[in-house]
Amino acid sequence: MSDRGSGLADIPADKLPRHLAIIMDGNGRWAQQRGLLRTSGHDAGAKTIRTVTTECARLGLEQLTLYAFSHENWKRPQREIDYLMRLLKRFLIGERPTLAENDVRLTAIGRLDSLPDAARAALDETIALSADNGGLNLCLALSYGARAELVDAFRVLGTRIAAGELAPEDIDEALISASLYQPGRDPDLLVRTAGEMRVSNFLLWQISYTELHVTDACWPDFDVAELHAALRAYATRTRKYGGLVDAPRDAVGP
Ligand code: FPP
C-alpha cells in the first residue's frame, strides 16, 4: 500500500475500498451551468479521469471501474456519440504515458465490438501496451449494460449446457460471476456523481453488497478532495453482507 499522504493519513489501509466503481455523471450539466457546449463537459470529464486514476493508483487501490459509455448512450444524438468516440480514441492514446508512469493496467468491459473501428483499435493497443503494469487495474465500461452482460453470460452457459459440457444444476453464483465480462473482486464502493439516486444498469450482479456514495458534484468537479470524501465515508461503513457484526454466538440461532 502506498503512502496515503495528506487528507487520508488517518484512515487505516484496510478501511479503504480495494475496488472502487464510479458512475461518472453530470458532464452536460457542468457545461450548461457555465454556458458551454456539452462537448466541453466531456472534455473536462476526460481530464477528471486522469486525476482520479492517478490518485487511486497512488493510494494503492486494486481496481477502478468507470462507467464511460453505456449501452443506452447509443441513443444520444449521433453528433454527440461521434464526439465521445473521437474523444475516447484521443484519451486512450494520450493517456499511455500516464498509465505507464503510474503502473496502471487498462482493461475494458462491455460489448466492445459495437465501438467504431478507430476507438476499438486504440483501446486494444492501449490494453496491450499496459498489460504488464502491476498496479491499479483501470477498467473502462464501454458500450456496457449490466443486463446485456447477464444476457451474454447466460448465452455462454446455455451453449455449454446444449453441448453437454454443463448440467443446469452446475449453475451457481460462483459460475455466473465467473461468466461475466471480467470476473474478479466485486466493487467495495460505488460512487455516483451529479446527485442522481439510481444505478443505471451498471454492474447489477456485482454490486449486490457494494456500499453506495452519491455526491452532488458533477463529474468534472470530482477532484481529489471529493474522492477523499467518498473514501472517508466508506471507511466509516460497517459491512455486514446480510449477517450480524459482533453478534453474541447464541444470538445467531441454529
Ligand atoms: C455523463 O454526462 C457522462 C458520460 C456520457 C460518461 C462519461 C464520459 C466522460 C467522462 C467523457 C470522457 C470519457 C472518456 C472515456 C474519454 P452526461 O452527458 O450524462 O451529463 P448530464 O446528465 O449532465 O447531461
252 part of a folded domain: no
221 part of a folded domain: yes
Ligand 1 midpoint to CA 200 (Å): 13
DSSP result, 132-173 = T--S-EEEEEEEE-HHHHHHHHHHHHHHHHHTTS--GGG--H
pLDDT one-digit tens code per residue, 142-199: 999 999 999 999 999 999 999 999 999 999 999 999 999 999 999 999 999 999 999 9
216 part of a folded domain: yes
Instruction: Calculate the alpha carbon distances from 4 to 58, 99, 179, 184 in Å.
Output: 7, 19, 35, 25
59 part of a folded domain: yes
Q: Which of 3, 10, 25, 103 is the catalytic position?
A: 25
pLDDT of residue 251 exceeding 70: no
Distance between CA atoms of residues 18 and 214, nearest Å? 18
93 part of a folded domain: yes
Q: Is the CB of 29 under 6 A from ligand 1?
A: yes
pLDDT one-digit tens code per residue, 197-242: 999 999 999 999 999 999 999 999 999 999 999 999 999 998 888 7
Q: Is the CB of 87 under 6 A from ligand 1?
A: yes
Per the structure, the count of domains in the chain is: 1
172 part of a folded domain: no
Q: Which three cell numbers stand for residue 4?
A: 496515503
For position 198, which CATH number holds? Answer: 3.40.1180.10
Domain that holds residue 79: 16-145+188-236
pLDDT one-digit tens code per residue, 126-136: 999 999 999 99
Q: Is the CB of 63 under 6 A from ligand 1?
A: no
Q: Is the CB of 28 under 6 A from ligand 1?
A: yes
**Greatest CA span in the chain, whole angstroms?**
63
164 part of a folded domain: no
What pLDDT was estimated at residue 253? Answer: 41
Q: Is 25 a catalytic residue?
A: yes
Instruction: Calculate the alpha carbon distances from 222 to 10, 77, 139, 150 in Å.
Output: 22, 26, 18, 30
Backbone angles phi, psi at 227, to 5 degrees: -60, -45
pLDDT one-digit tens code per residue, 1-54: 455 666 798 999 999 999 999 999 999 999 999 999 999 999 999 999 999 999
* pLDDT range class, residue 243, cuts 50, 70, 90: confident
Q: Which of 73, 124, 201, 223 is the catalytic position?
A: 73
Q: Is 73 a catalytic residue?
A: yes
Q: Is the CB of 52 under 6 A from ligand 1?
A: no
pLDDT of residue 247 exceeding 80: no
pLDDT one-digit tens code per residue, 43-80: 999 999 999 999 999 999 999 999 999 999 999 999 99
Distance between CA atoms of residues 169 and 50, nearest Å? 45
First to last CA, the chain: 40
pTM of the model: 0.94
Ligand 1 midpoint to CA 10 (Å): 33
Q: Which three cell numbers stand for residue 129?
A: 501496451
197 part of a folded domain: yes
